[in-house]
Amino acid sequence: MKNIAVIGAGTMGNGIAHVFAQQNFKVCLIDISQEALNKGLATITKNLDRLIEKEKISVETKNSTLQNILTFTSIEEGVKNCDLVVEAATENIELKLKIFKQLDEFAPDNTILASNTSSISITKIASVTKRPEKVIGMHFMNPVPIMKLVEIINGYNTSKEVTETIMKLSEALQKVPVAVNDYPGFVANRILMPMLNEAIETLYNGVAGVYEIDTVMKLGMAHPMGPLQLADFIGLDVCLSILNVLYDGFKNPKYAPCPLLINMVQAGKLGVKSGEGFYDYSQSKKAEIISKQFK
């Protein structure tokens, strides 16, 4: 397995392409526009330069990594010779189902189809293909080049052979794969999102302010980042989407998103990506708040 396609050149997609290419896999990075692809490549280049500055890779490794990536604006062209496709599009079920129908049509019959979804059912995604046994979840953590975990999600029909292949492949990326089963939120977000939601509820109820809540969790619970800052980093719209998946899947009120979170998303306060969430991410403050994270 040497030829990999990655669908989506955004934050997760370019990170996934980066780690595959750095380990000498041939990567086809696919997005709907060349502008998005150029932006993704610029991010990869910037992250490789950071690794050079930290003396973790050589200039030669940077050059070979970039040479291993080809870009495409056509799914049909990008996946036609791939052994594995990793979909990293927006966390929207209709979009993912549409993409997987196309992947099933255009990718070779033996190609494994993986989704980087953080909450959507792999079994449901697989149901729109004619190869459900070859559909699996590969949930990378952000930032992909640094975070070690890959949550491997088995759909109802995912074959044991495919799971073993993806586990070994993740190890070849110098990641730590953990296999889980297909239930809403899997493990990572089933535990994380209620915690973030509770932090938002704590703020909403006036128990403490943003700084105080995050400081308690960082200094008292040894979290590297406070829950409200982490929610900003993930994207408040993404947090809301995942909580809705959990709530719809379990019908349990403990997963119902906080009204403050709903209002902030409706107001366009999405966190880092919009420049404001629980924190102000204007350029002067952004460096102070984020620059030291995950260094």
Residues identified as active-site: 118, 139, 151, 189
Within 10 angstroms of residue 181's Cβ, the number of other Cβ atoms is 13
Tokens linked to 107: 């990718």
Residue 280 marked in a binding site: no
**Distance of alpha carbon 197 from the chain centroid:** 19
Residue 9 marked in a binding site: yes
Residue 36 marked in a binding site: no
Residue 31 marked in a binding site: yes
Vertex 263 angle, CA 262 and 265, to 5°:
70
Q: What is the DSSP letter of 83?
A: S
Within 10 angstroms of residue 210's Cβ, the number of other Cβ atoms is 17
Residue 12 marked in a binding site: yes
Residue 80 marked in a binding site: no
Residues with Cβ < 8 Å from 271, sequence gap 6 or more?
231, 232, 233, 234, 235, 236, 277, 278, 279, 281
Residue 91 marked in a binding site: yes
Provide the H-helix boundaries in 119-278: 122-126, 160-172, 188-204, 210-215, 221, 227-234, 236-250, 259-266
The kind and range of the H/E element at 289 are helix 283-290
Residue 10 marked in a binding site: yes
Residue 8 marked in a binding site: yes
Tokens linked to 143: 């930032």
| Residues across the chain | 295
Q: Distance of CA 281 to CAs 132, 170, 196, 295, Å?
A: 42, 34, 19, 19
Annotated binding site: 8-13, 31, 91, 96, 118, 142, 273
Please state the residue numbers annotated as binding site for NAD(+): 8-13, 31, 91, 96, 118, 142, 273
